[in-house]
């Protein structure tokens, strides 16, 4: 049992480390190393966008972009393990890639699997180079966990499709050049059967992007409205009516992003607990009630870390990551919320303060408190993740689905 | 990266699983529960398989393998909730004698323990939560006086490692239990499949194990090592309880459907899977630290201990819940796992002790440099 690289992995790591050391935008180090946890998923501001694009282009020119993609589309043809090693070595600079995660991690692979060759040649290299940002338009106001219940309508009109409807929770739509769009093309068949996927130029007339003001007062996601948007027929990905199968490609690729461990915030809490004074002149860690909480969260943070080491071991042997990796977000999301809530309790009434100059520990816990509800919802709610574990890992039956064989247009929409 | 057991270690595990599936069904565990006493025949079978001497050097009659092999086999003993004194004899007594004993003590006891001919135990508790200052059993001039209780496997052990006061210091001492100065009394417990006793020493002849005054530190070292091995028993038990709950949820019908199709049940089982998985990963971390002699063993051991204690308890109690009323019958095996989960949670010191150790060890690693 060891954590050592194989000789090949070590050589790859050395090569990656040397290149990063010589080329990383080190002037950004103070900003990137100061950013707290719980903010991933919020698209950074426009200065950061320019820096992200510059770093991505530099990587692309040197052959370090989209490591897992084939070379012909701008990638490196690397193994999954090499991709993980790259991510580890890229460290804080990987935050500059957040802008491209959805495009390169989900949209690109979907286009690669289902698009025609001309489109792949035209679309994928600029995506790898960071020239284009892509977004993924799946969720709708009335179709979240029940994604196949989406209502955005695509109607064929000659050689084009006319799209009307709206999407929500679209990360980065406001800075995207392209997107993939899941639509309903046939409401007269069962809900999973009447869907079709398209790729779309986001600059087309008929698309309006509006930022959502989120519950914590920031805007990272958007609503996207389609009013008579026209898409050439050549832009559907996979067959008409095959959209559900195509969307699974996209969602499967999400799972491959293991090793990008989500933070529980435990280290921040521990850091706080050893520094902050407790009652009667002691430290917080001297209180058994506090220790009991800390110990439980310590085992969760550690358990996630070493679960990911086990997954990497399997990956290193050439095994594919399975649905068991769903536990990462499930545990980290709820734990980070619990930790933040507990940490502000420890601050007494001053736990309400949010000005980093006044609040304890630069108001990091307050920031996580307000962001963490989203973590438990985005990319699969806690409840959907539990279903995935129960059904695909433990082999329990799927839910009874009353709408399964009903034509979509006959499914009740009101209680 | 090879953060997993290798092929040879896994084969070893399979061998243990096959043996225990054939020889240690829950029917056999029940015999101990229902007053059948110590299953010496099963114990001899385990000894013949070599499992008791895995980490004992060959010169002392063991297999001379490493801790990873022992961890792999421990998981199987946990799955089988074996009614055997492995924790006491192998993880504690043999380790104590191997680590702190003189060559004479080692050659006297290790071959017997490896062969199953002698059973060892660790006597530390004196009936309340143990601290460095609470020890009253006293060792002086080669004689031991006082009472230890409860002592796991104290009812059947041949030799005890005792944490005792020696003047104003603490020492570990070794006591042959087959002498007149030792009185034992069996105790009733939550888990009758594992014997417990009080041991009263009245001028019993004893000898020091390790240096005078090193008792508390050596005792903590022993607990840390055993905690990793017990963590594997706990994850083995947790997995089995989860599998029982899953299987029942697939088979039991209510409201015209398998109960495993209800989200309330599915999510309970998913949460059991999550805690069992986190505990497994933490146990592997402990195994890595134990097998490599890493300096962070105390942290890794406490992490594994707290995690697997919580996971086994969680899986054992919710396994009963999934079974509904059936789960609360004597006839179903659910309570065997519930009992064992709580027995293992208390052996080696209860959860608050380990939570304190874990957090204090993490805090020590996290001290501000300037402080």
Angle formed by the axes of helices B67-79 and B263-292, nearest 10°: 150
| pLDDT at res. A254 | 65
- Provide φ and ψ at A306, rounded to 5°: -80, -20
Per-domain residue ranges for chain B? 7-86+104-115, 120-213, 217-365
CA-wise closest residue to A111 among A97, A122, A99: A122
Which tokens hold the place of A187?
Answer: 């409401």
CATH number corresponding to A135-249: 2.40.110.10
With a pLDDT cut of 90, the percent of chain A lying above it is 75
Strand-strand pairing, A195-201 and A236-237? antiparallel
For residue A35, pLDDT beyond 60: no
- Asked if B2 has any chain A CB less than 8 Å from its own CB, the reply is yes
CATH fold of the domain at B7-86+104-115:
Butyryl-Coa Dehydrogenase, subunit A; domain 1 (1.10.540)
Alpha-carbon gap, residue A247 to B74, rounded angstroms: 44
The answer for B 244-263 residues in CB contact with A (under 8 A) is 246, 249-250, 257-258, 260-261, 263
| Residue A111: per-residue pLDDT | 97
User: What integer pLDDT is reported at residue A283 of this predicted model?
Assistant: 86
Question: Per DSSP, what are the bridge partners of residue A157?
Answer: A160
B120 Cβ partners below 8 Å, 6+ apart? Answer: B88, B89, B92, B93, B94, B96, B97, B109, B113, B157, B158, B159, B160, B161
Task: State CA A237 to chain mean position distance.
Answer: 22
What pLDDT score does A251 carry?
79
Residue B16 CA to residue B19 CA, distance in Å, equals 5
Under a CB-based contact definition with an 8 Å cutoff, are residues A124 and A73 in contact? yes
pLDDT at residue B248, as a whole number: 98
Helices (H), A276-321: 288-316
Tell me the fold of B120-213.
Answer: Butyryl-CoA Dehydrogenase, subunit A; domain 2 (2.40.110)
pLDDT in tens, chain B (371 residues): 899 999 999 999 999 999 999 999 999 999 999 988 899 999 999 999 999 999 999 999 999 999 999 999 999 999 999 999 999 999 999 999 999 999 999 999 999 999 999 999 999 999 888 999 999 999 999 999 999 999 999 999 999 999 999 999 999 999 999 999 999 999 999 999 999 999 999 999 999 999 999 999 999 999 999 999 999 999 999 999 999 999 999 999 999 999 999 999 999 999 999 999 999 999 999 999 999 999 999 999 999 999 999 999 999 999 999 999 999 999 999 999 999 999 999 999 999 999 999 999 999 987 654 33
A361-397 pLDDT tens trace: 899 999 999 999 999 998 889 999 999 999 999 999 9
User: Right CATH number for B217-365 from 3.20.20.80, 3.40.228.10, 3.20.20.70, 1.20.140.10?
Assistant: 1.20.140.10
Would you identify the CATH topology of the domain A7-132? Butyryl-Coa Dehydrogenase, subunit A; domain 1 (1.10.540)
| B136 vs A: CB within 8 A | no
CATH topology for A258-380 is Butyryl-CoA Dehydrogenase, subunit A; domain 3 (1.20.140)
d(CA A377, CA A374): 5
Q: Map tokens 């997954």 to a residue.
A: A311
Angle, helices B26-33/B334-346, rounded to nearest 10 degrees: 70
Return d(Cα A381, Cα A362) in angstroms, integer.
Answer: 29
CA angle A199, A201, A206 (to 5 degrees): 110
SS3 state of residue B340: helix
The whole-angstrom separation of Cα A144 and Cα A98 is: 22
Q: What average pLDDT does range A95-100 have in this prediction? A: 91
Taking each helix axis as running N to C, give the angle between helix A80-90 and helix A288-316, from 0 to 180 degrees, rounded to the nearest 10. Answer: 140
Residue-range domain boundaries for chain A: 7-132, 135-249, 258-380
Q: What are phi and psi of A332, to 5 degrees?
A: -65, -40
Query: In angstroms, rounded to a whole number, what is the distance separating the alpha carbons of residues A347 and A360?
Result: 7
- Cβ distance B278 to A397 less than 8 Å, yes or no, reads no
Say if CB A317 and CB B267 are below 8 A apart: no
Which residue in this structure is represented by tokens 């009253």? B136
Q: ipTM for the complex?
A: 0.95
pLDDT at A256: 56
CA distance B244 to B26: 13
| A310 with B360: Cβ contact below 8 A | no
Chain B from 159 to 218: CB within 8 A of any A CB? none
* Dihedral sign for Cα atoms in the order B107, B111, B112, B113: positive
How many contacts does A have with B, using Cβ atoms within 8 A? Answer: 170
Whole-model pTM: value is 0.94
Contact between A391 and B366 using a beta-carbon 8 Å cutoff: no
Contact B31/A at CB under 8 A: no
Higher confidence at residue A378 or residue A343?
A343
* DSSP state, residue A106: I
Q: Rounded to an integer, what is the distance from CA B276 to the centroid of its chain? A: 17
């Amino acid at each position: 049992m060891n954590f050592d690289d194989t000789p090949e992995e070590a050589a790859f790591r050395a090569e990656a480390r040397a290149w990063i050391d010589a080329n990383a935008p080190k002037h950004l180090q103070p900003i990137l190393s100061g950013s707290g946890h719980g903010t991933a998923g919020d698209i950074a501001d426009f200065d950061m966008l320019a820096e992200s694009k510059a770093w991505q282009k530099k990587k692309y020119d040197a052959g370090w972009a989209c490591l897992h993609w084939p070379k012909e589309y701008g990638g490196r043809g690397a193994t999954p393990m090499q991709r993980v090693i790259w991510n580890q070595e890229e460290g804080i600079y990987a935050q500059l890639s957040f802008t491209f995660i959805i495009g390169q991690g989900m949209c690109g692979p979907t286009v690669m699997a289902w698009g025609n060759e001309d489109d792949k040649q035209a679309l994928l290299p600029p995506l790898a180079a960071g020239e284009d940002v892509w977004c993924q338009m799946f969720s709708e106001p009335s179709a979240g966990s029940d994604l196949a219940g989406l209502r955005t309508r695509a109607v064929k009109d000659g050689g084009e499709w006319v799209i009307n409807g709206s999407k929500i929770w679209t990360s980065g739509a406001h800075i995207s050049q392209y997107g993939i769009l899941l639509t309903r093309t046939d409401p007269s068949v069962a809900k999973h059967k009447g869907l079709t996927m398209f790729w779309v130029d986001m600059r087309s007339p008929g698309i309006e992007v509006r930022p959502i003001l989120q519950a914590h007062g920031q805007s990272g996601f958007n609503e996207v409205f389609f009013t008579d948007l026209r898409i050439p027929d050549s832009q559907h990905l996979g067959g008409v009516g095959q959209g559900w199968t195509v969307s699974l490609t996209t969602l499967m690729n999400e799972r491959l992003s293991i090793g990008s461990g989500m933070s529980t915030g435990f280290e921040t809490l521990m850091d706080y607990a050893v520094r902050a004074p407790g009652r009667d002149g002691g430290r917080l860690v001297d209180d058994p009630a506090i220790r009991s909480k800390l110990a439980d969260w310590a085992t969760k943070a550690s358990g996630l870390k070493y679960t990911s080491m086990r997954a990497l071991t399997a990956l290193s042997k050439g095994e594919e990551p399975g649905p068991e990796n769903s536990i990462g977000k499930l545990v980290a999301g709820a734990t980070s919320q619990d930790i933040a809530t507990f940490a502000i309790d420890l601050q007494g009434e001053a736990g309400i303060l949010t000005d980093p100059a006044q609040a304890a520990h630069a108001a990091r816990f307050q920031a996580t408190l307000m962001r963490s509800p989203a973590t438990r919802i985005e990319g699969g709610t806690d409840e959907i993740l539990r279903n995935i574990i129960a059904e695909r890992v433990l082999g329990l039956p799927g839910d009874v689905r009353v709408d399964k064989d009903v034509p979509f247009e006959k499914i009740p929409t009101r209680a | 990266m090879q953060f997993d057991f290798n092929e040879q270690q896994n084969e070893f595990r399979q061998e243990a699983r096959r043996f225990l599936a054939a020889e240690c069904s829950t029917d056999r565990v029940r015999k101990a529960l229902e007053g059948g006493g110590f299953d010496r025949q099963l114990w001899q079978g385990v000894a013949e398989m070599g499992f008791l001497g895995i980490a004992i050097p060959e010169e002392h009659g063991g297999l001379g393998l490493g801790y990873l092999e022992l961890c792999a086999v421990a998981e199987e003993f946990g799955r089988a909730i074996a009614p055997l004194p492995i924790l006491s004899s192998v993880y504690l007594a043999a380790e104590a004698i191997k680590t702190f004993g003189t060559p004479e003590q080692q050659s006297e006891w290790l071959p017997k323990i490896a062969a199953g001919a002698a059973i060892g135990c660790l006597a530390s508790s004196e009936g309340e939560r143990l601290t460095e200052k609470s020890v009253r059993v006293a060792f002086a001039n080669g004689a031991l006086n006082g009472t230890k209780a409860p002592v796991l496997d104290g009812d059947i052990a041949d030799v005890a490692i005792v944490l005792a006061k020696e003047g104003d210091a603490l020492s570990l001492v070794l006591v042959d239990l087959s002498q007149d100065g030792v009185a034992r009394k069996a105790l009733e417990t939550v888990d009758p499949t594992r014997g417990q006793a009080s041991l009263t020493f009245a001028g019993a002849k004893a000898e020091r194990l390790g240096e005078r005054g090193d008792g508390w530190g050596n005792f903590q070292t022993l607990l840390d090592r055993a905690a990793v091995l017990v963590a594997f028993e706990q994850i083995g038990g947790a997995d089995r309880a989860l599998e029982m709950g899953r299987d029942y949820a697939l088979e039991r019908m209510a409201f015209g459907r398998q109960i495993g199709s209800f989200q309330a049940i599915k999510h309970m089982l998913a949460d059991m899977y999550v805690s069992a998985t986190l505990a497994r990963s933490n146990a592997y971390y402990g195994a890595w630290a134990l097998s490599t002699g890493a300096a962070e063993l105390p942290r890794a051991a406490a992490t594994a201990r707290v995690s697997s204690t919580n996971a086994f308890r969680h899986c054992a109690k919710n396994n009963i819940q999934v079974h509904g009323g059936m789960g609360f019958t004597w006839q179903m095996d659910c309570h065997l796992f519930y009992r064992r989960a709580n027995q293992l949670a208390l052996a080696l010191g209860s959860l608050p002790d380990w939570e304190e150790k874990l957090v204090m060890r993490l805090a020590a690693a996290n001290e501000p440099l300037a402080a």
